[in-house]
Structure 1
Amino acid sequence: MIKGKTLMKIQTISKTDNELCFVLSGIDSVYANTLRRIMLVEIPVLAIDEVTFIKNDSALYDEIIAHRLGLIPLTTDLKTYEKKDSCSCKGKGCAKCQLTLSLKAKGPCTVYASSLESTDPKVKPAYPDLPIVKLLEGQKLELEATAVCGIGKEHIKFSPGLAYYRAYPIIELKGCKDKLIADICPKKVFEFSDKLEIKNLINCDLCKACEESCKDNSIKVSASETNFIFNIESFGQIKPIEILQTALKVLEGKLEEFEYKLTKKEEKPKKETKTKKVGKKKKK
């Protein structure tokens, strides 16, 4: 546990298989941006890293097909696979940090990501209908690919998705009775009955169209400095909730490592003092 940590709250707004929207409270913009960057480039996922071509009669060069294969999102089980540099094989390559996929096709046809056959049934293309290449009559494509676990810092193909945030809106109403404000707002944040009321606060993007259009200055729009609305869109390798959970673990590990190094540096080793025996010199 890290000393002096603040209490952070998470409230889910919406959740699907590939998208997650939530409000993160009790932090500042520095923490929010740090978490966002970790989600983008420090979450390990599988991606094709090396391709051996046995036969390629298509119109595309080997390098182009290899590049396309590398960008196909592969479903990843974070409990089974880990990065090569942290694996017990010490980067040599084993079942814990890499796997093999093969592809064999004959034209005429369009080769899709679904044609990739994996040695691990849990690992497969997240979007099987992604086209790779078109083969004409008599053309063949045969290859073997090696997928490894990596992070977005190494290559964008290892990025698990998109993550972005915005400040939580704060709207103060002081008895505004202007009907037009509800229609002016592009995000339909307000509704009007007897007076102007907030209907969908979360939709507000802080454009301040309502504040600028209000003649009696009864509306004030500002951004919270401690609450943020996060959106996570997964590319399909892992679920958005896994991206968030893993990012929090990575951040906690970084803070613990920083605290350890800082404490270790403060505890400077004491210099050893050498003692000499003092005695009478013998006369020659």
Structure 2
Amino acid sequence: MSPSSSSNALPQSVYNPRRHVGIHAERISDVSSTEYPGHYPNEDHSWNLDVFKQNLQVKVQRLSQRSIEFDLVGVDASIANAFRRILIAEVPTLAIEHVYVWNNTSVIHDEILAHRLGLVPLNADPALMEYRTPTGINAQPNDRNTLVFQLKVECSRAPRGSGKEYINDEVKSGDLVWVPQGEQGSVFADKPPAPTNKNIVLAKLRPGQEIDMELHATKNVGKEHAKWSPVATASYRLHPLIVLNPEKPIPPHLAQKFASCFSPGVVKIGDHGEVRVLIDERGMRNDSVSREVLRHEEFAGCVELKRIRDWFIFSVESEGPYEPERMLPEAIKIMREKLSSIRTAAEALLSGGNEGGDIPPSRTEGADVEMADS
């Protein structure tokens, strides 16, 4: 089979069978990459930085205030999955950790309300804060590792004729008031810390009920607790590839049925009933690869369903302080720190020094990774 004449939107290299994962009625094939040293005779597939740079592509397809969709092309699935897991669990954020209840006469128990408060996303930039550690100078709360909020709401009856029955009958995230500590007033002068969504309902009150709390937000990561995860979701899928068989065209009277087997916009039907597959970022990339077309015997051999093994379509929804376009660079930064730590540990093993010792922080923070032959 070969690509149709209307598939010029994608580079010709995507039709290289070595990059394909086969999609069949009840199974998938060719899952593992074969481009490694020794698999193909007389071909050198050892890792090369220059070749990697030529094949690597990152392209933003859609961007909004809270979400981003981008393509990551030319990397192995292990690298793409590492970025996904880092985005979910290791990019730091700030969240409410300690809740001091001075008064709570609502029907919501203290523990439940504290849990709800912890899940409220905050817009404070984590880069401006430090981690609070179990020991040392950052063991105690200070203006560099803790943000303080006050929540004080009391419900009362509204005056007659006001058009409503109660005042402050709902406690919302917008009722959190930031209380600057130390130098925080100048550090956060451009963007005072606050919930990213001010309309999250935390509790409901009735006249005479009151909530009075002091809240301390600290910096941490999602693998410690989901409330520190900076994303609502971070996922990826392989780019679909649909190839028609020119030797067995779709019968004109079955064109509409064939088109209905795919997501809208993937298959276009010509004026005279001929069928052509729209293979570009705007159409085919949105196909769900439901395999519906493989259920019909009349379409057997007419089309092949594939996915491109090294073309990942990422969808990331930011819920914390990061702009969506900042999420991937933050994940790359953390990946580099991890690689630098591995390099430092490997060098220590090779040199015979610092065995079992701590890795110097200066070698792990933002250091470039260049592995030389040992």
TM-score by shorter chain over 0.5: yes
RMSD: 2.3
User: 2:275 is matched with which residue?
Assistant: 195
Maintained 8 Å contact 1:160/1:235: yes
Maintained 8 Å contact 2:123/2:320: yes
The count of aligned residue pairs is: 267
User: 2:339 is matched with which residue?
Assistant: 255
Maintained 8 Å contact 1:45/1:158: yes
Query: Structure 2 counterpart of 1:171, which letter?
Result: I
Maintained 8 Å contact 1:77/1:122: no
Deviates more, 1:258-267 or 1:227-236: 258-267
Query: Structure 2 counterpart of 1:65, which letter?
Result: L
User: 2:174 is matched with which residue?
Assistant: 114
**How far is 1:148 from its partner?**
0.5
In structure 1, runs of 5+ residues without a counterpart are 270-284
SS at match of 1:184: coil
User: 2:88 is matched with which residue?
Assistant: 40
SS at match of 1:12: strand
Pick from 133, 143, 147: which aligns with 1:95?
143
Match status 1:204 vs 2:290 = no
Maintained 8 Å contact 1:18/1:236: no
Deviation by residue 1:190-246 (Cα, 9 ceiling, x = unmatched): 111143221511112222223554635131111122111111011243222222211
Pick from 151, 157, 168: which aligns with 2:221?
151
User: 2:203 is matched with which residue?
Assistant: 133
Pick from 153, 164, 167: which aligns with 2:238?
167
Maintained 8 Å contact 1:211/1:217: no
Query: Structure 1 counterpart of 2:95, which letter?
Result: A
Deviates more, 1:131-140 or 1:84-93: 84-93
Tell me, in whole angstroms, the C-alpha distance in 2 between the residues paired with 1:87 and 1:225.
46
SS at match of 1:231: strand
Tell me, in whole angstroms, the C-alpha distance in 2 between the residues paired with 1:227 and 1:24.
6
User: 1:177 is matched with which residue?
Assistant: 250
Match status 1:227 vs 2:298 = no
Q: Percent identity?
A: 26
Pick from 27, 35, 55: which aligns with 2:75?
27
Tell me, in whole angstroms, the C-alpha distance in 2 between the residues paired with 1:195 and 1:60.
61
Alignment TM-score, normalising by the size of structure 2: 0.67
Maintained 8 Å contact 1:182/1:196: no
Tell me, in whole angstroms, the C-alpha distance in 1 between the residues paired with 2:223 and 2:79.
19
Higher strand share: 1
Tell me, in whole angstroms, the C-alpha distance in 2 between the residues paired with 1:29 and 1:46.
30
User: 1:268 is matched with which residue?
Assistant: 352
**How far is 1:65 from its partner?**
1.1
User: 1:278 is matched with which residue?
Assistant: none
**How far is 1:4 from its partner?**
5.5
Maintained 8 Å contact 1:87/1:97: no
SS at match of 2:128: coil
Maintained 8 Å contact 2:265/2:284: no
SS at match of 2:85: helix
Pick from 33, 39, 58: which aligns with 1:10?
58
Tell me, in whole angstroms, the C-alpha distance in 2 between the residues paired with 1:64 and 1:216.
57
Alignment of 1:61-100 (within 5 A): 61-85=109-133, 89-100=137-148
